[in-house]
Structure 1
Amino acid sequence: MNEKKLNELTDQELLEKKKKSKSGKIINAALIGAFIGIAVYSSVKNGFGFFTLFPLFFAGLLGVQYTRRDQALEQELESRNLK
């Protein structure tokens, strides 16, 4: 199922998407924390190397991707005065 663009959603759908994004923030934070924990454990156990940078790369990628999505949603809500 293709997800609609934000500007194609109704006001009610946007508000529901905002509610769902709150639980998404918690899941995203847990994943980023797990990746950082894996990187710290790997650097303590094996020293600095590939398995230290690999999880940090994915943690950064998750953070940037989620921030962009969240900003786009906030901009659309603000443009419709739904905040």
Structure 2
Amino acid sequence: MKPEYFIELSDQELLQKMKKIKTNKIVDATIIGVTIGIVIYSIVNKGFGFFTFFPLILGYIIIRNSRNNEILYQEMQKELESRNLK
């Protein structure tokens, strides 16, 4: 999404997208925590292997996606401030 897209949204739609991004942040953090737990459990029980590093790859993808979401969140914050909604 580009910042120009946010200008076209109504106030209500913009607030809904903000809530969705906040929810996604919580879900992303939970998934990353679970994958780290799986890696630690796998290392303790079976040592290093493919299934030890697979959750780390998944975690990396989620972190990269969450960085993009953070940029969108900041742009949405700017738009909300320009509309005096927050």
Place the TM-score, normalised by the shorter chain, in its bin: 0.7 to 0.9
Structure 1 stretches of 5 or more lacking a match?
Answer: none
**Residue of structure 1 in register with 2:47 after alignment:** 47
Match of 1:75 in 2: 75
Question: TM-score, normalised on structure 1?
Answer: 0.76
The Cα of 1:35 is off from its aligned counterpart by 0.7
Question: Does structure 1 conserve the Cα–Cα contact (< 8 Å) formed by 2:36 and 2:55?
Answer: yes
1:50-83 Cα offsets, whole Å, 9 max, x none, are 1111001101111110220231232143146255
- Which residues in structure 2 correspond to 1:2-81 (within 5 Å)? 5=1, 7=5, 8-79=8-79, 81=82
Q: CA deviation at 1:48?
A: 1.5
After the TM superposition, list the runs of 4 or more consecutive aligned residues in structure 1 that deviate by more than 3 angstroms: none
Once residues 32 and 53 of structure 1 are traced to their aligned partners in structure 2, the CA distance between those partners, rounded to angstroms, is 13
Choose 37-46 or 15-24, whichever is displaced more. Answer: 15-24
Greater fraction helix:
2
| Equivalent pair of 2:35/2:55 in contact (CA under 8 Å) | yes
Work out the percentage of aligned pairs sharing the same amino acid. Answer: 41
- Size of the aligned set, in residue pairs, is 79
RMSD in angstroms over aligned alpha carbons? Answer: 2.0
Any stretches of 5+ residues in structure 2 without a counterpart?
none
